[in-house]
Amino acid sequence: MPSSTALTSFDHPGFEALKRRIDGARLSAARAVNRELVGLYWDIGQAIREQQTRCGWGDAAVDRLARDLKASFAATAGLSAASLWRMRQFHETCTKPELLAPLVREIRHDTPRPGNPER
């Protein structure tokens, strides 16, 4: 039997604030995951490019790497040979000097700074 002080609905004064807090935490978590994935993709692309330059890796080596990664991380999507080639292309494209300055400006523009309200 419910007590007389138990809430009978979700119309509690702090509930909306709690929902906003949950939404904010979910958004922060999603941004953190995206940031980590972009960094991972960058690192994989960089490693492939370096191995191609230093060790003469070709298509077969990237295919073999994709098979090994799939075997090691079976539950993880996005490690196919086609994805690895896109990661390599991502690293190659985003390291071109003409792209780096605009990306830095964009990152700085999107990052909230103390004292500046978020958009």
3: left (phi over 0), alpha (psi -120 to 50) or beta: beta
Summary mean pLDDT of the chain? 81
Q: For residues 11 and 58, is the Cβ–Cβ distance under 8 A?
A: no
Q: For residues 80 and 70, is the Cβ–Cβ distance under 8 A?
A: yes
Q: What is the pLDDT of residue 17?
A: 85
Q: What is the pLDDT of residue 119?
A: 42
Distance, in Å, from the CA atom of 98 to the CA atom of 103, rounded to the nearest integer, reads 10
Per-residue tens of pLDDT for the chain, all 119 residues: 455 555 555 667 778 888 889 999 999 999 999 999 999 999 999 999 999 999 998 889 999 999 999 999 999 999 999 999 999 999 999 887 665 555 555 555 555 555 555 44
Predicted TM-score (pTM) of this structure: 0.66
- Nearest alpha-carbon partner for 64 in 86, 53, 80: 80
79 C-beta neighbours (distance < 10 Å), count: 19
